[in-house]
A and B are shown apart, each in its own frame.
Chain A
Amino acid sequence: MLKVFTRVSTISTITTLLLCLLLAASFASAASLAAEAIGEVVYMAGTVRAQQPNSTARDLDLESPIFPRDTVVTSRYSQVEIRFKDGTILAQGNDAEISLDDYVYSTDVSASKLLFKMSTGTFRVVTGEIVKLNPEAFILQTRFTTLGIRGTQPFIKIEEDASDMVGVIELTPGYTVSVTSARQTVSFDRAGLFTNINRDGEMSDPAPTPPAVQRAIQRAAPMTSLGELGARGSKDDMKRKVKTFEKHVEREKKGIGDHDGHGDDGHPDYGSIHHITVQQTGLKNAKDQKEGKSSAISDGSSSLGGDHPDDGHPDDGDDGHGDDHGDGGGGH
């Protein structure tokens, strides 16, 4: 009897120990993941998931951390905006997928790097500190191209059975963006240009992005960080949007306080002060939108659902792909 009791006791002790070890391991894993977070979700609507290479997946929400090697996937009627530690901002439209293969932001200039691979969907990027520290190591890849970026705001649109579309919404004066395929390189030296790249690596000559295309891209992947309101969404999405703008205002003000009210030149950061006004207007509009007031300005779109007809893509009629722009070998 005593022997049986001792054996049960031993098994129980081992089980407890194993459980403790498992718990410790999971805490350690969570802690290490938290320490490794490279960014966070600053805005989202609909359903957005992040998946690690080992197939563990998690649903994202506002302020969810983003980890290296996450693949971020948006579903239909969904959008997400991620702010990375160096200030790089990524906006992603519906039915889109991006793999955050490599991201290091370090005081060691040569160690800082970023490699994101986009496989499908619409994306916009505002570059942050990494581009300034180590421009050669800031790389965005699509199926058919690699983008070299030097301080700018590019957009990328990738559709199945179509050419990749790459353009620039804003470009720091004196800088260029190079788009390189397997066959050629095209450079942009000013904002407002785009090129189409087909699967053979042929690229169209840079041409002005039609305003309707740019508007469609901005609606598909809104940058709330820049004060864009984006489309209306579900009740939960509207609540998230109000919170998004509250956080943007808070973040900007914190930035002013952290630097004792001064920019790099010892003078006030007038740009940040102006940006707070823009974000406060965004907050007011988001609140109006949530309450269904007609004064809300929705940047030309009525709703997430309304923006996305049957194929889930906004304004496909004038999106720069296909017959409307048969320019320069960007064949499908």
Chain B
Amino acid sequence: MIFMFIKRFMGILLAMTFFAGCMAGQIAQRRGDKAYRANDYETAAQEYSEAATSGNRDAQYHLGAMYIEGQGVPKDLVKGADLLRQAAEQGQNDAQLMYGLLNIYGDGVPVDPEEGVRWLTTAANGGNDIAMYYLGTLYAMGLGVEKNILTALQWMEKAKDSGFPVKEELLTESGLSALYTE
């Protein structure tokens, strides 16, 4: 009986600690957002760092992007890619897009176009129109996937329907074929 009580108590305590950690992360992330909008990138990086450590995926994404750009922190592609991977694995949609692109171009990670396409597809399936556009170009080029103009066209059309301003010439088979010839 006592054992059951202690087990439950410990469970509740763990849940509360986890919840408090999440809340603290969210508060630090919001402080980071505010500092970022005020162009105070150093403070933003500090706040995002605190939030990212507690597992806040939005903070991981922003801080990762800041390392990639060298904004408020020294430019560090490897560190940026690692933070973006953490955010992407937690389902942060924008991080999935950016981590996918890092893999395709070998920025901060070894070049791995197939892995890049996998992340871009996850982001696109989550509604990211920029990821849809990049997938269209990758299928048209045959980079990370087998070249397929029809699939490329479908992604371009999806990107346009989702709000990405796709150029007219990329919305036809002939246009795509002409632009992405071997």
Binding site for B on A (CB under 8 A): 153, 169-170, 214-215, 218, 226-229, 250, 253-254, 256-258, 260-261, 267-268, 270-271, 273-274, 276-278, 281-282, 297, 299-300
Contact = CB atoms under 8 A, between A and B. Distances in A.
A297 B38 contact: no
A281 B61 CA distance: 13
Majority DSSP secondary structure for residues of A touching B:
helix
A218 B36 CA distance: 13
B18 interface: no
Given A226-B39, A256-B133, A270-B101, A281 B69 contact: no
A270 B65 contact: yes
Contacts of A215: 38
A254 B133 contact: no
A245 to B, nearest CB: 12
Given A257-B167, A261-B134, A299 B37 contact: yes
B105 A267 contact: yes
Interface size class of B (residues with CB under 8 A): 20 to 34
Contacts of A226: 37, 39
Contact of A278 (B36, B107, B133): B36
Contacts of B26: none
Contact of A228 (B38, B68, B129): B38
Main secondary structure of the interface of B (DSSP, over half): helix
Nearest to A249: B163
A278 B62 CA distance: 9
A253 B165 contact: yes
Contacts, number: 76
Given A226-B39, A271-B69, A277-B94, A299 B34 contact: yes
- The 4 lowest CB-CB distance pairs between A and B, nearest first, are A274-B65, A268-B101, A254-B165, A270-B68
Interface of B: 30, 33-34, 36-39, 61-62, 65-66, 68-69, 71, 94, 97-98, 101, 105, 107, 129-130, 133-134, 137, 163-167
A216 to B, nearest CB: 11
Q: Among A261, A274, A299, which residue has the most Cβ atoms of chain B within 10 A?
A: A274
Contact of B37 (A169, A229, A270): A229
Nearest to B64: A274
A267 B38 CA distance: 28
B130 A273 contact: yes
Contacts of B107: 267, 270
User: Most A CB atoms within 10 A — which of B37, B61, B134?
Assistant: B37
Contacts of A169: 39
Contacts of A258: 167
11 contacts: A153-B39, A214-B38, A218-B39, A226-B37, A257-B165, A267-B105, A270-B98, A271-B69, A278-B37, A297-B34, A299-B38
Contacts of A253: 129-130, 163-165
Most buried by A among B69, B71, B163, B165: B165
A257 B37 contact: no
A261 B61 CA distance: 20
Contacts of B69: 270-271, 274
A314 to B, nearest CB: 14
B131 to A, nearest CB: 10
